[in-house]
């Protein structure tokens, strides 16, 4: 455990953020490996089926992670206030309600799968295998929830290293099972879905056993295993707003992708490559933001306003320091990085398009570094509605401006639209930060 109500903020934030960063990068690699194995050993139909099912399951995962983030803020606050009983009751309420909700969602998803696939206009030749894959992954949703909820509990008390270990084991297990059963023995897409669910179940089981044996401060007693209405309301309030906020970004990406599609195959290929670079650029900024959120929530529970203000300032410096490293690396290495994604005829043109986009983004990465920092502050303060408003402003204006600039400027127009959205988000969040500090006595 890590008590962030004592000691230097820099050490707490840095040591907490690094495992989160590694975990997020591991998740990106985990998804890539799963798709590579399916495409190489089963065929393009399997790869297409996973591609269709992916966005549907992402929405389920966003809802799960939103609920867990909301619960995590409340648990961090209870830990900082040294209210151990409230901490255990919050975790018990989250686990019980979330389990019921996820089981119901899994059953509903399995029943609604044919309608979902028809709405997505899935081609007939992959309709059946996509339906099987999607149904199996729906059945794995409760395991995904249990891992995320238990990981949120561990992170709320400052332990971000242990969830990383479970995630790493899950990723290695999934890849190993895929290579042996699919690559070696020739099983199909059903096996690909089952191995993913098995890996998720293993990570959830390991987290539960670890918590029971090593972290008694988090484990609810017999009389605490019930859903408490006075805790469920705040959990749902924080969780639902966070889930909605997270859903805004994928919707915005879909709208922007529509503008890119109109620019031609070369632009589509280049944008597909640069978005992978963007993912690796944004992930550390989000990890630092999560560290800021936990730090602030713990110190809010401990009623230490001076540490909140000082820790947030340190967090913003970490965000900007990371941007200097990432922005410089992107600017210097963008051409060889993009060359990894394409080969053959027309590759030079695709790389040139991507390089032009990343030349702008290397500078613009400073803006999401700041917006993520402020998002972490507001979440830690329990002001989830503020984060939702900021994200909606950013995403909505970015998509609208992309529709105007992309036909005229190409991919640089997309980059400029992103920068504009982040600037408007900061224009809303920065003044509101000073208002919040004044109102809360920070």
Q: By three-state DSSP, how is residue 344 classified?
A: coil
Contacts of 325 (CB under 8 A, 6+ apart): none
pTM across the whole model: 0.79
Give pLDDT, residue 41: 59
- Distance of alpha carbon 239 from alpha carbon 245, whole angstroms: 10
Tokens describing residue 210: 């670890």
According to DSSP, residue 97 is labeled: H
**Backbone phi, then psi, for 217, in 5-degree steps?**
-65, -20
Q: How far is residue 6's CA from residue 157's CA, in Å, rounded to a whole number? A: 13
- Indicate the burial class of 412 (C-beta count within 10 angstroms; 0-12, 13-18, 19 or more): middle
What pLDDT does 44 receive? 56
Q: Phi first, then psi: give them for residue 17, nearest 5 degrees.
A: -75, -35
| Model pLDDT, residue 235 | 85
Phi/psi of residue 5, nearest 5 degrees:
-85, 0
Tell me the pLDDT of the chain (442 aa) as tens digits.
Answer: 677 788 888 888 888 888 877 877 777 666 666 656 665 556 556 656 666 676 677 778 777 888 888 888 888 888 888 888 888 999 999 999 988 988 998 999 899 888 888 876 667 777 787 788 888 888 888 998 999 899 988 888 888 888 888 888 888 887 788 777 766 665 666 677 788 888 889 989 999 999 888 888 888 888 888 888 888 888 888 888 888 887 787 778 767 867 777 777 777 777 767 877 887 788 888 889 989 998 998 898 888 888 999 999 999 999 999 999 999 999 999 888 888 766 667 778 888 888 999 999 999 999 999 999 999 999 898 888 899 899 999 999 999 999 999 998 988 999 999 999 999 999 999 999 998 888 877 7
Give the burial class of 104: count Cβ atoms within 10 A of its Cβ; 0-12 exposed, 13-18 middle, 19 or more buried: exposed
Q: How far is CA 214 from the centre of its chain?
A: 27
Residue 230, pLDDT score = 87
Q: Around Cβ 180, how many Cβ atoms within 10 Å?
A: 13
**What was the pLDDT predicted at 120?**
66
Determine the pLDDT at residue 296.
92
């Amino acid at each position: 455990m890590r008590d962030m109500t004592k000691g230097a903020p820099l050490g707490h934030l840095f040591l907490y953020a690094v495992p989160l960063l590694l975990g997020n990068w591991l998740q990106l690699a985990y998804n890539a490996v799963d798709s590579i194995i399916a495409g190489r050993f089963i065929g393009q139909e399997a790869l297409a089926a996973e591609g269709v099912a992916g966005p549907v399951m992402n929405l389920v995962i966003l809802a799960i992670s939103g609920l867990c983030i909301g619960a995590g803020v409340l648990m961090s606050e209870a830990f900082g206030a040294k209210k151990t009983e409230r901490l255990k009751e919050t975790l018990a309420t989250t686990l019980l309600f979330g389990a019921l909700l996820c089981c119901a969602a899994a059953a509903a998803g399995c029943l609604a799968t044919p309608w979902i696939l028809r709405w997505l206009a899935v081609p007939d030749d992959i309709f059946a295998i996509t339906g099987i894959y999607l149904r199996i992954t729906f059945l794995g949703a409760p395991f995904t929830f249990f891992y995320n909820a238990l990981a949120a509990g561990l992170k709320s008390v400052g332990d971000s290293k242990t969830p990383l270990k479970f995630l790493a084991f899950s990723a290695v297990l999934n890849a190993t099972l895929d290579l042996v059963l699919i690559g070696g023995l020739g099983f199909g897409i059903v096996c690909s879905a089952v191995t993913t669910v098995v890996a998720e179940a293993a990570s959830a089981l390991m987290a539960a056993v670890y918590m029971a044996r090593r972290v008694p401060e988090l484990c609810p007693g017999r009389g605490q295993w019930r859903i408490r209405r006075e805790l469920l309301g705040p959990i749902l309030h924080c969780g639902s707003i966070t889930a909605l906020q997270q859903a805004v970004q994928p919707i915005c990406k879909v709208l922007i992708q529509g503008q890119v599609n109109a620019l031609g195959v070369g632009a589509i290929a280049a944008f597909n490559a640069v978005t992978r670079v963007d993912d690796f650029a944004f992930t550390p900024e989000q990890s630092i933001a999560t560290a800021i959120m936990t730090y602030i929530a713990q110190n809010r529970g401990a009623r230490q306003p001076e540490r909140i203000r000082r820790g947030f300032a340190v967090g913003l410096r970490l965000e900007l320091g990371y941007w200097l490293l990432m922005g410089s690396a992107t600017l210097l290495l963008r051409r060889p990085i993009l060359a990894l994604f394409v080969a053959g005829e027309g590759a030079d043109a695709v790389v040139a398009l991507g390089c032009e986009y990343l030349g702008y983004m290397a500078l613009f990465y400073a803006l999401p570094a700041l917006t993520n920092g402020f998002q972490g502050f507001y979440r830690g303060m329990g002001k989830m509605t503020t984060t939702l408003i900021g994200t909606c402003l950013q995403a909505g204006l970015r998509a609208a401006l992309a529709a105007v600039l992309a036909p005229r400027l190409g991919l640089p127009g997309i980059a400029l639209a992103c920068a504009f959205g982040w600037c408007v988000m900061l224009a809303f969040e920065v003044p509101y930060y000073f208002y919040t500090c004044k109102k809360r006595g920070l």
